[in-house]
Amino acid sequence: MPTVTHGPVALTIAGSDSGGGAGIQADLKTFVAFGVHGASAITCLTAQNPRRVLAVESTAANMLRRQIEAVFEELHPLAVKTGMLLTAENVRVVADFFGVRGGRVPIALVVDPVMVSTSGARLLAPAAFKILQERLLSLATLVTPNLEEAEILIGEKIASVESMRAAVREIHTRFGCAALVKGGHLRAMRDAVDIFFDGRTELLLTAPFIKGVRTHGTGCTYSAAITAALALGRDLPQAVGMAKKYITQAIACGYRVGKHFALNPLFH
């Protein structure tokens, strides 16, 4: 008889990337790498590849709700992440579900506020962004914006490590959740610098830039790694530190797919 163990479950609520480099596909591969069972609720279908997004089609709000309900009915995730939500209706579904604190709220809710793709396509409607600000972020354990997303959240330009530090504190003050601002697009830096703040602990996370690669799906993979670590019982600062090391290795161990560079989330 095989030995039966109980594995932790993490849920990703995000869009499907037909190119396999980001979204649901990247999240599930990352959960596997951490030894966590991955469940998913798909918010939208995208026709995309590493170069561009050709088309996007939203999941019906009721279908999104039923997916989340089905997962919680039997699998009981310990941590949840949201990625591309796309529409106001989808953001409202997620906020409504997790706003009802009747035993359904996971230990951790990580919100990756996906707004624009690497190729420049808009991935969050303006009305959806308003609901995300007003309702979803207040439920989050952690929000993980990149520089552009953080600038939108606080309404100010971020051009230095010091302004990143100010931004994470401003996000925490405005929305009441911990923040990880990712500085990978900060110019004239030797290292990829991220700043974490949860109201008590501030972390400066650095890793050398890996030259000559253009990444796709890094933000999804990073936030999925944090979610997986939280499902494994790590506290938030530990989970962020583990995820930073993981994403650095996933980039360093990347490989070519066609004409493009892909992360290697299963490197270990």
Q: Please check the confidence at residue 54 and state whether its pLDDT lies above 80.
A: yes
> What pLDDT was estimated at residue 102?
45
| Residues 73, 109 contacting (CB under 8 angstroms) | no
| Residues 6, 34 contacting (CB under 8 angstroms) | no
Q: Please check the confidence at residue 262 and state whether its pLDDT lies above 70.
A: yes
Q: Please check the confidence at residue 103 and state whether its pLDDT lies above 80.
A: no
Q: Please check the confidence at residue 186 and state whether its pLDDT lies above 80.
A: no
pLDDT band, very low/low/confident/very high, at 117 (cuts 50, 70, 90): low
Q: Please check the confidence at residue 148 and state whether its pLDDT lies above 60.
A: yes
Q: Please check the confidence at residue 261 and state whether its pLDDT lies above 80.
A: no
DSSP state of 3: P
Q: Please check the confidence at residue 268 and state whether its pLDDT lies above 80.
A: no
Set out the domains of the chain in order of their start, with CATH numbers. Answer: 9-262 (3.40.1190.20)
Looking at per-residue pLDDT, the higher value among 28 and 128 belongs to 28
> What pLDDT was estimated at residue 238?
97
Give the pTM. Answer: 0.93
Q: How does pLDDT run across 156-176, given as a tens digit for each residue?
A: 999 999 999 999 999 999 999
Q: What is the dihedral of CA 248, 28, 236, 75, to 10 degrees?
A: -170
> What pLDDT was estimated at residue 132?
93
Give the Å distances, CA to CA, from 167 to 119, 150, 173, 198: 25, 7, 10, 12
> What pLDDT was estimated at residue 105?
54
Looking at per-residue pLDDT, the higher value among 266 and 12 belongs to 12
- Between CA 189 and CA 160 the distance in angstroms is 9
Q: How does pLDDT run across 221-260, given as a tens digit for each residue?
A: 999 999 999 999 999 999 999 999 999 998 888 777 878 7
Q: What tokens were used for 214? A: 């253009």
Average pLDDT, the chain: 89
Q: Please check the confidence at residue 51 and state whether its pLDDT lies above 70.
A: yes
For the chain, the distance separating the N- and C-terminal CA atoms, rounded to the nearest angstrom, is 28
Q: Please check the confidence at residue 1 and state whether its pLDDT lies above 60.
A: no
Q: Provide mean pLDDT across the span 90-104.
A: 80
Looking at per-residue pLDDT, the higher value among 135 and 106 belongs to 135
Q: Would you please indicate which residues are annotated as catalytic (active-site) residues?
A: 182, 215, 217-220
Q: Provide mean pLDDT across the span 211-219.
A: 78
Q: Please check the confidence at residue 198 and state whether its pLDDT lies above 50.
A: yes
> What pLDDT was estimated at residue 199?
95
